[in-house]
Amino acid sequence: DAKTTQPPSMDCAEGRAANLPCNHSTISGNEYVYWYRQIHSQGPQYIIHGLKNNETNEMASLIITEDRKSSTLILPHATLRDTAVYYCIVKPGSARQLTFGSGTQLTVLP
């Protein structure tokens, strides 16, 4: 699976958009970009995934660059409850398991 690089930590003001970057420069054509988050002492929570096109759901938006070498997860209006570790994962569609890296600790500040 392609390796991902994320900043170890980020802060965001409550109510503002949180933009979390992920670099996956070695991504292959059949690999999807997934985002999960893990709030302290809970199991990871699925957020969103995409292949080539930008995606949006009720939680977030995923922007994937045209060359697919990087992506950005956008939480449009961050709240204190969005404080968590955010994991960017690249996975072939056929793969079964998720390979987690170290993620980005997002802290939403009041």
Interacting residues toward other proteins by CB under 8 A = 32, 34, 42-46, 49, 85, 87, 93-103
The residue among 14 and 55 lying less far from other proteins, judged by its C-beta, is 55
Q: Dihedral sign, CA of 86, 91, 95, 101? A: negative
The residue among 28 and 102 lying less far from other proteins, judged by its C-beta, is 102
Nearest to 32, CA basis, from 74, 75, 62: 62
Instruction: Give the shortest CB-85-to-other proteins separation in angstroms.
Output: 8
User: Is the Cβ of residue 70 or residue 104 nearer to other proteins in the bound state?
Assistant: 104
CB of 13 to other proteins, least distance (A): 26
The CA-based angle 92-98-9, given to 5 degrees, is 110
Question: Which two structure tokens, joined as six digits, stand for 47?
Answer: 């957020």
